[in-house]
Structure 1
Amino acid sequence: ADLHTLWNVYVFASIYMNLDKYSPVKYDEKRILAKLKLEDRWVLSRLQGLIKEVTRYMEEYNIHLAVRSLRRFIIEDLSHWYIKLIRRRVWIEEEEDVKITAYYTLYRVLKTFLVLLAPYTPFLCEEIYQKMFRNAEPDMPISIHMLDWPRYDESLVDKELEENMDIVSKIIEIGLSLRMSSGIKIRQPLRRLIVFTDSDKIGKAVNTLSEIISDILNIKKIFVEKTEELKNYIEYEVKPNMASLGPKYKSKAGKIVKALGKIEVNSFVRELKSRGEYILEYEGERFKILLEDVKITERVKEGFARRDFEDGVVLIDTVISQRERYEGLARDIVRRIQFMRKELDLPVDAYIHVVVKVNRRRIKPLTEFSKYISEETRAKKLEITDKPLFDKDFYVKKWNIEDEDVVIGIYRV
Structure 2
Amino acid sequence: DFWLVHRPWIDQVVIETPDCDKWVREPYVMDVWLDSGVAWIAAVDGERNRELWEKLYPYSWVTEAIDQTRGWFYSLLASSVVYTGRAPYKSLLITGHIVDKFGQKMSKSKGNVIWAKDLLAKYGADPVRLYLLTKAAPWETLSFDPDEVKSAVSQLNILWNVVKFADTYMELDGFSADKYKLGEWLDKALDEDRWLLSELNKMATEVAKYAEAFELHNAARAWADLVVETLSHRYIRLLRRRVWSEEPREDKYAAYAVLFHVLKAALIVGSMFVPHIADYLWQSFVRKYDKSAEESVHLARYPEPGPVDEELAEAFDELFRVFSLAAEARNKAGIKLRWPVSKLIVSGAQRLAKYSHLLAYLANAKAVEAGDCAGDGYIKHEEAGVSVCVPAKLEPELYYEALAREIVRRIQVMRKEMNLAVNDNIDVYVESGDEELKKAVESQRVYISNEVRAVKLELGRGPNGSYWREWDIEGAKAKIYIRKA
Normalising by structure 1, report the TM-score.
0.76
Tell me which residue corresponds to 2:369. 223
Q: Does residue 90 in structure 1 map to residue 164 in structure 2?
A: no
Say which of 145, 149, 152 aligns to 2:305: 152
Q: Does residue 169 in structure 1 map to residue 320 in structure 2?
A: yes
2:406 is aligned with what amino acid? D
How far does residue 151 in structure 1 lie from its aligned partner after superposition? 0.5
Alignment of 1:72-111 (within 5 A): 72-111=225-264
How far does residue 101 in structure 1 lie from its aligned partner after superposition? 2.2
Q: Does residue 179 in structure 1 map to residue 254 in structure 2?
A: no
Q: 1:30 to 1:139 in 2, by over 3 A?
A: closer
Say which of 172, 190, 194 aligns to 1:19: 172
Tell me which residue corresponds to 1:327. 401
Q: Deviations over 1:106-136 (max 9, x none)?
A: 1111100111111222221111111111121
Give the distance between the partners of 1:330 and 1:42, measured in 2 at CA. Answer: 33
- Contact 1:327–1:366, Cα closer than 8 Å, also in 2: no
Say which of 107, 117, 120 aligns to 2:270: 117
Question: Residue 142 of structure 1: SS of its match in structure 2?
Answer: coil
Q: 1:118 to 1:361 in 2, by over 3 A?
A: closer
1:106 is aligned with what amino acid? L
Gaps of 5+ in 1: 235-300
2:352 is aligned with what amino acid? V
Tell me which residue corresponds to 1:140. 293
How far does residue 318 in structure 1 lie from its aligned partner after superposition? 3.2
Alignment of 1:10-409 (within 5 A): 10-154=163-307, 157-197=308-348, 202-203=349-350, 205-225=351-371, 230=372, 233-234=373-374, 301-358=375-432, 359-360=434-435, 363=438, 366-383=441-458, 385=459, 388-409=460-481
Question: Residue 342 of structure 2: SS of its match in structure 1?
Answer: strand
How far does residue 86 in structure 1 lie from its aligned partner after superposition? 0.9
Give the distance between the partners of 2:296 and 2:386, measured in 1 at CA. Answer: 52
Normalising by structure 2, report the TM-score.
0.65
2:410 is aligned with what amino acid? R
1:66 is aligned with what amino acid? A
How far does residue 141 in structure 1 lie from its aligned partner after superposition? 2.0
**Runs of 4+ in structure 1 displaced over 6 angstroms?**
none
Identity of aligned residues (%): 34
Question: Residue 303 of structure 2: SS of its match in structure 1?
Answer: coil
Give the distance between the partners of 1:342 and 1:362, measured in 2 at CA. Answer: 23
Give the distance between the partners of 2:463 and 2:387, measured in 1 at CA. Answer: 54
Q: 1:365 to 1:142 in 2, by over 3 A?
A: closer
Give the distance between the partners of 2:481 and 2:294, measured in 1 at CA. Answer: 49
Question: Residue 12 of structure 1: SS of its match in structure 2?
Answer: helix
1:138 is aligned with what amino acid? K
- Contact 1:53–1:66, Cα closer than 8 Å, also in 2: yes
2:483 is aligned with what amino acid? Y
Q: 1:60 to 1:318 in 2, by over 3 A?
A: same
Question: Residue 356 of structure 1: SS of its match in structure 2?
Answer: strand
Gaps of 5+ in 2: 1-152
2:431 is aligned with what amino acid? K
2:446 is aligned with what amino acid? K
Q: Deviations over 1:214-233 (max 9, x none)?
A: 111111111113xxxx4xx4
2:383 is aligned with what amino acid? F
Q: 1:66 to 1:101 in 2, by over 3 A?
A: same
The structure with more helix, counted as a fraction of residues? 1
Q: CA RMSD in A?
A: 1.8
- Contact 1:206–1:224, Cα closer than 8 Å, also in 2: no
How far does residue 361 in structure 1 lie from its aligned partner after superposition? 5.9
The aligned length equals 331
Q: 1:63 to 1:326 in 2, by over 3 A?
A: same
- Contact 1:46–1:162, Cα closer than 8 Å, also in 2: yes
Question: Residue 14 of structure 1: SS of its match in structure 2?
Answer: helix
Give the distance between the partners of 1:365 and 1:391, measured in 2 at CA. Answer: 22
Tell me which residue corresponds to 2:25. none
Give the distance between the partners of 2:389 and 2:255, measured in 1 at CA. Answer: 32
Question: Residue 366 of structure 2: SS of its match in structure 1?
Answer: strand
